[in-house]
Amino acid sequence: MTETLNPSSLACIELLEQVLTDARAGNINTVGIVACGPSDFGAQIAGPDARSVALGLDVLKAKIVAAVTQPTVDMRPNIMTPLRGNGQILRPRPVPKR
């Protein structure tokens, strides 16, 4: 039985193939890899330029933080009750879309 790869695995393979092509062409002399599976992760470095890998990791971490902190649409129902002031029912003002 042949297992079909999911889109995430295919994207990982494509990225790794691009990096391997660049390394074989002599364009990469140090690499740091963090590989994540369903329940664990591993990390490894190869090559002499650990300082550049550390800088690259800082850039990568900023991208990860941005990806996990972007606001998402809240699909839960929203129940609004009218505000009361001076005996009047005040309607909520529309909020401009960003």
What is the distance between the alpha carbons of residues 10 and 24, in angstroms, rounded to a whole number? 21
Residue 67's pLDDT is 84
What is the distance between the alpha carbons of residues 85 and 77, in angstroms, rounded to a whole number? 25
Structure tokens at 31: 């690499």
Structure tokens at 71: 């606001």
Q: Is 69 exposed, middle or buried (0-12, 13-18, 19+ CB in 10 A)?
A: exposed
State the average pLDDT over residues 68-94. Answer: 58
Residue 66's pLDDT is 85
pTM flag (> 0.75): no
Strand boundaries in 1-98, DSSP class E:
31-36, 41-46, 83-85, 88-90
Q: Is the pLDDT of residue 14 over 60?
A: yes
Contact 44, 33 (CB under 8 A): yes
What pLDDT digit, counting tens, does each position of 16-57 carry? Answer: 999 999 999 999 999 999 999 989 999 999 999 999 999 999
Longest dimension (CA), the chain: 76
Residue 69's pLDDT is 86
